Copies of this chain bind each other. A is one copy, B any other.
């Protein structure tokens, strides 16, 4: 059990900051004040201020006037919270039958208060899942995380059949839109036609035919399904 338990020194705000910064530093090496503020819905000064405190506590490295990155300690906590978040999301969907586009807010509140016992209970109840309902990897208890590389739906050639593996969880409305079309992890998609010049992609999802924009198709991760695999044995 590598995660330190230390009687919840961390506030909800701190934990949310850590996760937000963790996610932002996947795109560029430093998380910028502005991006943090945006992703948490708070003002710039609130972030500037909080950064100072968190850096003092040793969770962040602050490159003054440029951005922050997580220290190993901050990263470990971020991963613990992220694990909690994603395991709770999985629980909400698999057990409580939440729709995939309504788990984030609930998980974002619960992630700060559940105990280790709670986590173990749902983890075992769920059969130790490795991905959440959006197809994102669930960090391990030891603080490691797998990075899956998926083909993007945008890159799939017409005629191919693929299975949805991951959808972006950034925008709730977008997630709702995708869910309504049946585009959720596990769904089978056949690409029918790809219009030129960044045009829409026409696909068949579980029987229905729909069209999605290139920009959205770039946020959908799929695995190419090899035909041989489908008919094996």
Interface residues of A (CB under 8 A from B): 92, 95-98, 102, 105-106, 109-110, 112-115, 117-118, 121-122, 125
Contacts and interface: CB of A to CB of B under 8 A. Distances in A.
A97 B122 CA distance: 10
B102 A117 contact: yes
A98 B113 contact: no
A92 to B, nearest CB: 8
Contacts of A122: 96
A195 to B, nearest CB: 39
Give the top 4 A-B pairs by smallest Cβ distance, nearest first: A96-B121, A109-B113, A106-B115, A110-B113
Contact of A106 (B106, B112, B114): B114
A198 B204 CA distance: 78
B98 A121 contact: yes
Contact of A113 (B95, B113, B115): B113
Contacts of A92: 118
